[in-house]
Structure 1
């Protein structure tokens, strides 16, 4: 079995404690030599400046390739493209281009009056600059707002046609979920890389809420296992075993790149990577 490439998602810190947690996460996972690391936006673009600052600092101090999340929410076209240009100016050449979630408490997504209508328009504008590799989101199970699974795939095809270079999926619990999605994408004429997103479950209550919000189905056996492990205090052991098994099944099925949602808690992700044979290769530069 070949060793996969890996990448990691972080979120920007909101306070001093969060900053220490983020840098601990970077220090722990950087030696695994990821293809890139990404830094998220909050709902409604709430962490826009924090994301920019975190991207710049990680890029400057770690030597890692950083992919900055960029959304259409609550910003004009000019403002959004200015942010992208700011990333290009500091040498960040990868962007995760997303429509973005509506601000909390709002009645769903509404485009900014002077902004991008959605992710396809954003991707097209970024591609026209010629400055970025563009990652996009994909849903192996039907997006809660989608008319159907096929509508989701058709929308993903439009994103690739607009200039996206790869897609990263929402997390899922069974390898067959990804394989069915991959086959359907191929049938729709999608040939670009689709990278499965992996969530090592650090907190079962939070993961269950996250799954419900984004349309990820939870197999009853896995739900029962986590409920029992939560009572027994063995959640970490179960999470590591299940995520490692899922990744192993994906690799056997031809996947050569895995993207981990770390939630800024690196230990489970590190342990899963070690189980897959992804071991330290480089030493992180000093982080100021």
Structure 2
């Protein structure tokens, strides 16, 4: 999708952004925050066997026009298109997710590298287990998320850079380790091409060992917290208040998807997910 073809007005309406952000690190933070507050992370189309298209037009149609969410390859395609349309200098990167890894993980995550003046920043709207604020690409750089979690960037030797997180939402399912900084994902800054993204997206959405084929993952950022629905486990944290519940009724699951995450599925689609026994 060319810059001219990207409908910024429709995107701004989707993310509830009343004004055009500035093309600097402050505007980058405003745009990323608005995106994550409005558009949920979710892999439900993977479970429904629909496949995941990551070309610009398909992603815009799903996440903006149809009001659905998506996972990292969808979120960060949309976000990168918006950045480019606004005049940012940005390009995609690929990352290895180290959460719960027992060996070197594959490249299953993407996000954006943004150049602002003489600085490079990472910006990520598609990491479903937490919210990482935009961060300058500087060894030892730190940032605090609205939920109180602390992030740090370290040079990671053979794996390039490592993003670490210290907070009780440090794992993708919300089970915090409580052991300080934990590796989230590693990445290098070499060029990433459309074919690289297509290959990683295909693996993530079809490989038998990919968790997205077996686990329903839905989450959204709250103004001062985070909400997630991992299979039948619902968690919501706002400030110091935390709610946890197990959902056993498909009608309640469907209602929760709609009311908390803004995702509308039919009763038949919820049944086809196989997450909640009917």
Q: Is TM > 0.5 for Structure 1 vs Structure 2?
A: no
Determine which structure has greater relative contact order: mean sequence separation of CA pairs < 8 Å that are 6+ residues apart, divided by chain length: 1
TM-score, normalised by the number of residues in structure 2: 0.29
